[in-house]
Chains A and B, each alone.
Chain A
Amino acid sequence: MRRRFQAFQQAPWRVQIRLTSGSMLPLIALLIIGGMYLTVNARHARAGRQVLDLQRQQAELLRYNAEMGATLAEMTSPERMYQRALGLGFRYAYPAEIDYILLKDYTPPLPFIAPRPPASTNTGEGMLSPAYTETLGEWLLRWLGW
């Protein structure tokens, strides 16, 4: 003990270093925690940005599909098809020009059934893992089975 006291008297800068270290330690701890928080938040934000981007892309694609669908419908409208047929030399046939052939076991084409409109989706609350929404206490209770 005396030897330590003597060493301390001979080298007081060690106390200063210790004081500095002691006061810097909480700051460093805070910085580390802050860094971890920022890292997690940055990843969260990146994921959120991806979600927003994907939602925008989805909306754009749906609008684009709708536009294409309408354009296709317009280009294949009966008036246009009829004009193209006339241009290719076709004309309406008359009953006397039609030949009828009997086909046994002929299966007529199935009637058209329209595509179903999209059903509404859930809010997504029930689809998330509890790990994203519960607190530490709630996790503890869940783990303990209470």
Chain B
Amino acid sequence: MATSLAGLVNQVKKVMEQRPSRRRIRMLLALVAIVVLAMVVQLIRVQFGPYAPAFAAIEEIVAEQVDKVEPTRGVIYDRDGRVLASNVPLYYLEVEVRQLTETSKKQIAAVLSRALVLPFDDVYSQLTYEWVDEGQLRIRLTREISGGKRWPITVDQIAADVLKGFLEDPEAPDLSGLSLVPAPSRAYPAGSLAGHVIGFVNQKGKGYFGVEGYYDDWLVGRSITIERGYIPLEARLRPDPPAGVNLVLTIDLDIQQMVEDILKQTIEADNAESGQVIVMDPENGEILAMAIWPPLDPNNYEPWLPPEERSEEESEDDEEEPVINPAVAGQFEPGSTFKVLTMAAALDAGLVTPEEEFIDTGQIEVGGHTIRNWDGRAWGSQTMLGCMEHSLNVCLAYVSSEKLGAPMFYEYLRAFGIGKQTGIDLAGEVSGQLRTPRHPDWTESDLGTNAFGQGVSVTSIQLITAVGAIANQGVMVQPHVVLEVVGPDGVYWPKTTVLGQPISRETAETLTNMLTKSLSGETNFAHVAGYQLAGKTGTAQIPGEFGYDPRWTVASFVGWGPVRDPEFLVFVRVDKPQTSPWGSVVAAPVFREIVERLVIMLEIPPDSIYEGLNLEE
């Protein structure tokens, strides 16, 4: 044992003492030299070989690129926090041309044409086009829309998830080269509810009309330019662009829904052309509901785009340009609801009292023009209260021409904001038209006709704002639809803006009492049991090219309540009703139906219960 171990050790010593082979060292050095040479050759091939352009292109793509980052557009809520406008992801379909294979071209075209109902040939031709020759390595797939224009193909989240599944599944169709690029899009979950108030955003992210248009700069935020690194070594914290503000509207979606339902039923029942209802709080100007018929669905805004944004074909098809939100952008002659302002002016000036007598002969001549009552009758001895109750044109023309006179009459109308914009925070408001003696087209007969709302044009929002002064103790407040503006740094509540005090508190109370009595008399269609309400009907002829159209009217009603402490002011307008032309028949019942539900939604107890509560306290 010891002998064999010693022998082994001797053998190892002999090996260690032998001279190492020169050949082995040379082989080792040669091996190292070959490896180094191979690395150098490969470096040269990468830098200058046939694949050099491809590598350079990849480097170009993944190198830092300057990118514009758009912020998220602000969300719009109703006053109770329900979403009216939000952002949802849409995806563009883009193709990296150099990654396409013959198989993937066909399969991409097949999948997209079936899933998105697109022409196969159209998609396939885009995939097989020689984009590289034009220097384009990445293209966005488009589809043809009307008018020969092409629009980028967009898919929603559901379709995008399916396509992503295909891209990740090796067993699925080969979609090599296809990628989904997210693009923000606006969604309006409530559909056409309050559509005219909200407005819409087009595909380029620009807001039009309503709140989207008026507050577009605030909602859109501010984009920033960053250097975006695509390779891991260049990854770093990315700054977020300043986001747009969120808005809370004064709109109560439940009241809006209720009002829109009733308006729709009325339009259908009376076979009318259009209609509007506005519900406002006269104390602070908050618009609780603004219903317009025909409605606007911001999710399908194309028909409402301005002409310059629509295709030529669409522009030719439209007979006339649709008016977005006619409550602020559409003028009309208000008719007898305007008498409220005339009587307010005369009462405030101390020129008439509610009990003052007037002998109605059935006609009056003002500026050479003969004015008659709505029924052509003479109503005999009437008080001013009776004139309002029976809506006598002759009486009011007498008040404006014989009592007030032109300077005082138009001064009061200006104080009521007629002929001026209210400044409501909705895009597209117009100022209406009031011809005063300074206007070259004014004639003395206007003094008579303006008294009962003909020959003067207002918007619905102007009229309700002016009447709001009577409901609010003489103080006229600016209407608004935004309750809160919420930015990254805090919350801003717009304050109530007082536009003026055209009449005194006493005048407002006096006129309110007159209209309360008149509502319970002539316009009992507007009466709601248990509540004292004030209001006035209106039936206005519609001016045409050759004078007033005898066939059609604008039937309207304006009213407020409860009289003890007004919490709502409602204006109803129905254009060209076919069942009856009269405001008392068409519009007043709408007012009643709305108020019957409104008092419950606003938790306003009947007068008797309210008085009982006060007695207990």
Contacts and interface: CB of A to CB of B under 8 A. Distances in A.
Interface residues of A, number: 53
A65 to B, nearest CB: 10
Interface string A1-36: 000000000010100110010000001000000000
A48 B157 contact: no
Contacts of B193: 77-79
A57 B81 CA distance: 28
Contact of B597 (A16, A79, A92, A127): A92
Contacts, number: 168
Nearest to B79: A112
B489 interface: yes
Interface string A55-80: 10001000110110110011011110
A113 B599 CA distance: 25
Interface string A77-113: 1110010000000001111101010100000000111
B86 A73 contact: yes
Interface string B580-617: 00000000000000001101100001100100010010
B364 interface: no
B81 A78 contact: no
Contacts of A102: 613, 616
B74 A117 contact: yes
Contacts of A116: 246, 486-488, 490-491
A115 B89 contact: no
B529 A96 contact: yes
B190 A13 contact: no
B469 to A, nearest CB: 26
Interface in B181-203: 182, 187, 189-191, 193
Given A11-B19, A52-B232, A127-B237, A117 B243 contact: yes
A98 B237 CA distance: 59
Range, interface on chain B: 35 or more
A73 B84 CA distance: 8
A114 B77 contact: yes
Contacts of A16: 20, 22, 25
Contacts of A117: 72, 74-75, 221, 243-246, 486-488
A99 B410 CA distance: 48
Nearest to A54: B235
A11 B19 CA distance: 7
Contacts of B233: 41, 44-45, 48
A145 interface: no
B239 interface: yes
A24 to B, nearest CB: 8
Contacts of A78: 82, 190, 193, 253-254, 256-257
Given A27-B32, A73-B83, A120 B231 contact: no
Nearest to B488: A119
B586 to A, nearest CB: 21
A41 B232 CA distance: 10
Nearest to A51: B235
B128 to A, nearest CB: 31
A124 B193 CA distance: 43
Contact of B246 (A48, A100, A114): A114
B590 to A, nearest CB: 15
Contacts of A66: 86-89
A59 to B, nearest CB: 7
A137 interface: no
B237 A121 contact: yes
B392 interface: no
Given A79-B193, A92-B597, A112-B248, A120 B241 contact: yes
A111 B81 CA distance: 9
Contacts of A95: 528-531, 596, 599-600, 606
A3 to B, nearest CB: 17
Interface string B210-247: 00000000000100100000111111111111111111
Contacts of A64: 89, 157
Nearest to B72: A117
Contact of A13 (B19, B256, B490): B19
Contact of B82 (A41, A48, A76, A115): A76
B1 interface: no
A7 B253 CA distance: 104
Given A59-B182, A70-B83, A121 B486 contact: no
A20 B25 contact: yes
Contacts of A79: 190-191, 193, 257
A117 B157 CA distance: 23
Contacts of B489: 119
B29 interface: yes
A55 B235 CA distance: 10
Contacts of B321: none
A114 B247 contact: yes
A74 B459 CA distance: 32
B529 A48 contact: no
Contacts of A115: 246, 486
Contact of B239 (A74, A77, A120): A120
Contact of B191 (A11, A77, A82, A124): A77
A93 B86 contact: no
Contacts of B243: 117-120
Contacts of A74: 187, 189-190
Given A92-B597, A95-B596, A95-B599, A111 B79 contact: yes
A78 B240 CA distance: 34
B80 interface: yes
Contact of B237 (A49, A82, A123): A123
A129 to B, nearest CB: 13
Given A114-B247, A119-B243, 20 more contacts: A11-B19, A13-B19, A13-B20, A44-B232, A48-B234, A51-B235, A52-B232, A59-B182, A63-B157, A70-B88, A95-B600, A95-B606, A112-B79, A112-B81, A113-B491, A114-B484, A114-B491, A116-B486, A118-B72, A124-B237
10 contacts: A11-B19, A48-B234, A48-B235, A64-B157, A69-B86, A77-B189, A77-B193, A114-B486, A117-B74, A117-B488
Interface of A: 11, 13, 16-17, 20, 27, 41, 44-49, 51-52, 55, 59, 63-64, 66-67, 69-70, 73-74, 76-79, 82, 92-96, 98, 100, 102, 111-124, 127
The 7 closest A-B pairs by CB, nearest first: A124-B237, A48-B232, A73-B189, A119-B488, A48-B235, A117-B243, A73-B83
